[in-house]
Amino acid sequence: MGLIEVIANDRLGTKVRVKCDSHDTVGDLKKMIAAQSGTKPEKIRLKKWYSEFKDHITLYDYEINDGMSLEMY
Amino acid sequence: MSLEDTNAMRVKLGLKPIQDDNSSQNNEKSAESNYATLKADEQKQRESEEQRVNIERTRNKLQLNKRLKGKTLGEDTGEDDAKKWAKRLKRKQKEAAERVARAQLEQDNLYTQDDSNYNESHLSGLRVGHNVDDFAEGKDHILTLKDGAVLDDADDELQNLDLAEDERGRERAELSKGVKARQYTGLDDEEFGADGAAKKPALLSKYDEELAGADSGFRLGDATAHTSKNTTDNHDNSTLTQPTEKLNKTLLSLDYLKNEQPSDFLKEGDVGFKKPKTKKTKKRSTRKAEVVDGDMQIDTSTSTHVEMKPPAPRERANLEHTNMIDDDDLQIALAKQRRDKQRRSKAVRQKKPEEIAAEIGELDEIDMRRNGEETEKEFDGKAKSLVLDDTSEFIRTVQMAPQQEAQEVHESVSVKKEPDLSVDGDQPLDVAADMDVTIEDVDGIKKEEEKGEQSYQGDGGFEKESTANTPTNPPTHTTHAKGLGSLLASLKQQGQIEALTPEQRERERVQSESLHFLADQRAREVVREEHRQRIRLDETKSQQDRDRELRSRDARSAQEDKEAFERNYKPSVDIKYHDETGRAQTAKEAWKYLNYKFHGRGQGTKGQEKKLRQIEMERRQMAMTSGETPLNVMGAFQSRREATGSAHMVLSVGNRGAAPQSDSLFDAGSRLEKRSGGSGNAVESVGNRAGDDTTASTSTSTLAPPEDNQHTQANGTSSFVPVGSSPAPEQQEQPAKSTFAPIGSLGASTSTGTGAGAQAGGLKLGGKITFGKRKSDTGEIKQQNKQPRLD
């Protein structure tokens, strides 16, 4: 519960800092990122190392905390 | 991007806004308040603790103050005059003196009590550190308390200084002798207890003393240890009288019933005897006796009658020839028993002396029929007693084995002379065996033994028979001393020279014909040349005539040659391939080899290895003992023979070729075999002499192990002729023209032209070696052989 700030970065020049709730789903996060970066949310893929995050699971469950950076493709 | 923007966007996107309000501030606040409360609590606790300690301290102080009652030094006592003080001091001193005096008096009383009622009972239970035996009789010994550590719980011990000194001296002497004196001497001595009874020594009993401490000594007043009742004060004059009943404990009573018939079995209440001691000497003696026995059996064993007799006569022989008679009474008693038994058995048999005499006469008659000293002698020996068993048989053959080889050659002729005594001599032998039981006198056996020795020491018939009957040599190569013939035979036996097939023979014939033709051709050529020369030198005719004649002659001779060529020239072509090592290749191998060569690549490593292995196998097979199979069957047969002690092995029974299953069957077979084996020489004499010396004939039967072959090869005769296949006529068929080739060419028999003669020579020598014959066949043969003698 609470506000966290996540950094999403594809290493091609797009880096977005997004404020979100830890109980948001990954899908919500993607929408936020899409709103900020201008790409479609369904095109965004979020990864940490080699595990891709699924849309219907919350950030809290993925243990994504404040200040973490995710890989965006 | 600020939080407000984010929230606006979230709302636009349909998400609920983030309530960021004070999540982090809340946390801080609570943490602060928590910390404050914790501090307050700690403070409170500290204060209460302080108070408690204070209370405690004051209470202690109060209690201390309670004890300090009365006047202090500084305070006034109230009776401060010196007179009173001195009085009190005096009184105190007097009391102390009185106390001391009283204690002294008590002490004095303790020591000055009258010693009239001090007796041995006061000392009873006190330990004396010496053996009772150490105290010499009629002497006073003063015992003192032994020194010991104060802290030890050990009870007091009395000791005599002199005796203790002696003991110590003895120990020192013992130690100075060294360790060896105490070690195991090799004598298994028993230890003897105090009462003289022997007891088994415990394991490493020599250390018992060191471990447990010397258990010498006794307790005063102990009834078992000593008997002196009149010890006064410290004087101990114990006597060394041992109770008599203890001495007599192990003695035996000496009276026994003399007239009682001693029985072989232990009766109830009898004193037993220790087994192991007596056994050792006895064993040795029996073994010795057995050797003597074996000698005795050797001359009798030629007879074929195998009936297991009870070893009674043997026992008697033992008694006679060993100096083991150490107990005359026992011998007498045994003799008595034996006589009783014999009398009884005689009564059962009801055989009269006349009958026996008649039988002996019969035997003599038979003996007379056989002319020949040796046989007579042996037969005598046979008639008297007969002890045969597998063990003795085996031992005998083993003993004979070395001699056998040496004598084989010389005896071959004399073996033939042996008459067939056991063919019809069976019946009287039975009688003889029966007689054995009725023989009463020991002298008879003695005589017989002497005879046995005679026939043993002189190179009598028995050894010959042993060579004929019981061949036990391991299969060996025939010695090549006999010459080329035996060498060829042995090579053939080993399969290094193969017998010719009919095709080969045919080809040989053709080849020899063609050779003839070539020789003829050459001769004709020579004749023609002479003619030609004569015509040329003929002056009577003109040149033209001469030319014409020559031409016509040439034409004619050419015609002749052509006809002869067509008629006679039949070349035999045999293409043989050899590999690098010189081995002959089969067609397949050759094809492979050429193929590899043609295609310019070799065999793989695996293939090469396989080939090498094959070559090695072939080489080994060549080097194998004659008559041996790759599976070592002959060796197995040999060991089996040694184990069973019989010279044969029953391979099959009946037409079905079934293997004998049970041991009993086998035993029965062995008995049969033994009988027939014993009569082997008889069979010999019946049998014809097969072939001359160059023919190596080998009979086939289960009775004939490989050395039989060798034997017969050397002799040129077969010992079991009627049994085996008769190879003699077959050898007569061989072409007479086949000639010997030099040995060198034997190895190169593969080459087409020259090997023919050598092969033919080998063939001429060769008999049939049929060890691997059908088992059913041999079984049948054996049965035929046995049948007449079964009844």
Q: pLDDT tens digits, residue range B750-763? A: 333 333 333 433 33
Find the domain containing B433 and state its range.
283-470
Q: B-chain residues within 8 Å CB-CB of A35?
A: 9, 12-13
Give the containing element (helix H, strand E) for B714: helix B706-715
Q: How many domains does chain B have?
A: 4
When pLDDT is averaged across residues B197-213 and rounded to a whole number, the result is 64
The tens digit of pLDDT for each residue in B342-381 reads 888 766 565 566 666 776 666 666 656 655 544 444 444 4
Cross-chain residue pair B18–A20, CB shorter than 8 Å: yes
Cα(B217)–Cα(B219) distance, rounded to whole angstroms?
7
Buried-exposed string B194-209: b where 16+ CB fall within 10 A, e elsewhere = eeeeeeeeeeeeeeee
One-letter amino acid at B503 equals E
Which of A19, A21, A28 is the closest to B1 by Cβ? A19
Query: Any chain A CB within 8 A of the CB of B20?
Result: yes
A3·B10 Cβ contact <8 A: no
Residue B47 lies in a domain: no
Q: How would residue B169 be classed by pLDDT, with cut points 50, 70 and 90?
A: very high
Residues B461 and B374 in one domain: yes
Would the CB atoms of B3 and A32 count as touching at under 8 Å? no
Residue among A1, A16, A22, A32 with most chain B CBs within 10 A, to mutate = A32
Residue B658 within any structural domain of the chain: yes
pLDDT surpassing 60 at residue B732: no
pLDDT band (50, 70, 90) for residue B33? very high
Measured between beta carbons, which residues in chain B are less than 8 angstroms from residue A21? 18
Q: Does residue B9 belong to the interface with chain A, where contact is any CB pair within 8 Å?
A: yes
The chain-wide mean pLDDT, for chain B, equals: 65
B490 and B449 within one domain: no
Q: Please indicate, yes or no, whether residues B214 and B319 belong to a single structural domain of this protein.
A: no
Q: Could A32 and B6 be called an inter-chain contact, meaning their C-beta atoms sit closer than 8 Å? A: yes
Over residues B173-190, the mean pLDDT reads: 68
Tell me whether B10 touches chain A (CB under 8 Å).
yes
Q: CA of A24, closest CA in chain B: separation in Å?
A: 9
Which pLDDT score is estimated for B158? 83
Q: Are residues B756 and B662 in the same domain?
A: yes
Return all residues near B206 (Cβ < 8 A) that are at least 6 apart.
Answer: B182, B183, B184
The residue that leads in pLDDT, B271 or B612, is: B612
Q: How confident is the model at residue B61 (pLDDT cuts 50, 70, 90)?
A: very high
- The minimal CB distance from B18 to the residues A17, A19, A35 is found for A19
Listed residues B574, B599, B614: the one ending a domain: B574
pLDDT number for residue B41: 96
Least confident of B29-43, B514-528, B725-739: B725-739
For chain B, report the end-to-end CA distance as a whole number of angstroms: 129
| CB proximity under 8 Å: A 30-49 to B | 31-32, 35-36
**Residue at B261 is within a domain:** no
Find chain A residues with C-beta within 8 A of B3's C-beta.
3, 19
With pLDDT > 90 as the criterion, what percentage of chain B qualifies? 8
Query: Which chain A residues are closer than 8 Å to B20 by Cβ?
Result: 2-3
B362 and B464 together in one domain:
yes
Task: Decide if B84 is inside a domain.
Answer: no
How many CB atoms sit inside 10 A of residue B700's CB?
A: 23
Please answer yes or no on whether A1 and B6 come within 8 Å at the CB atom: no
Domain count, chain A: 1
CATH of the domain at A14: 3.10.20.90
User: Do both B779 and B740 map to the same domain?
Assistant: yes
Confidence (pLDDT) at B281: 53
Chain B residue numbers touching A19 (CB-CB < 8 A): 1, 3, 6, 18
pLDDT of B535 over the 80 cut: yes
pLDDT above 60: residue B436: no
| C-beta of residue B453 within 8 angstroms of C-beta of residue B295 | yes
Q: Check whether B784 has a pLDDT greater than 70.
A: no
Cβ-nearest to A28 among B1, B15, B24: B15
Highest mean pLDDT among B155-159, B337-341, B571-575, B680-684: B337-341
Residue B206 has pLDDT above 60, yes or no: yes
DSSP state of A24: S
Does one domain contain both B663 and B542? no
Find the closest chain A residue to B26 by CA distance. A2
- Do B707 and B662 share a structural domain? yes
Contact B1 A17 (CB under 8 A): yes
Report which of residues B123 and B461 the model is more confident about: B123
Same domain, B300 and B445: yes
Inter-chain touch A3–B3, beta carbons under 8 Å? yes
Interface touch B23/A2, C-beta < 8 Å: yes
B153-167, B258-272, B545-559, B751-765: which is most confident = B545-559
Least confident range from A14-23, B181-190, B220-229, B709-718: namely B709-718
Chain A residue whose CA is closest to B3: A19
Asked if B670 and B662 touch (Cβ cutoff 8 Å), the reply is no
Q: Does B25 touch chain A (CB under 8 A)?
A: no
Model confidence at B228: pLDDT above 50: no
Beta strands across the sheet bearing A14-21? A14-21, A3-10, A69-72, A46-48, A51-52
- Which among B188, B219, B240 is the end of a domain? B240
Q: Is B150 left (phi over 0), alpha (psi -120 to 50) or beta?
A: alpha
Q: How far is A25 from chain B (nearest CA, A)?
A: 11
Checking if the pLDDT of B525 tops 60, the result is yes
Band of pLDDT at residue B157, cut at 50, 70 and 90: confident
Identify the band that residue B690 occupies on the pLDDT scale cut at 50, 70 and 90: very low
Domain that holds residue A41: 3-72
pLDDT at B59: 94
Record: contact A3-B18, CB cut-off 8 A: yes
Class of residue B464 by CB neighbours under 10 A (exposed 0-12, middle 13-18, buried 19+) = buried
Kindly determine whether residue A28 and residue B6, on different chains, have CB atoms separated by under 8 Å: no
Asked if pLDDT for residue B501 goes beyond 90, the answer is no
Backbone region of residue B429 per phi and psi (left: phi > 0; alpha: psi in -120 to 50; beta: other values): alpha
B528 and B379 within one domain: no
Of B78-87, B115-124, B643-652, which range is least confident? B115-124
**Shortest CB distance from B13 goes to which of A1, A19, A31?**
A31
Whether the CB of A21 is below 8 Å from some CB of chain B: the reply is: yes
Q: Which of B9, B15, B20 sits opposite A3 (nearest CB)?
A: B20
Position B592 in a domain: no
Give the CB-side neighbour count of residue B373, counting CA atoms within 13 A: 6
Specify whether B670 is located in the same domain as B764: yes
Q: Give the whole-number percent of chain B exceeding pLDDT 70.
A: 46
Helices (H), B494-632: 502-537, 543-568, 587-599, 605-623
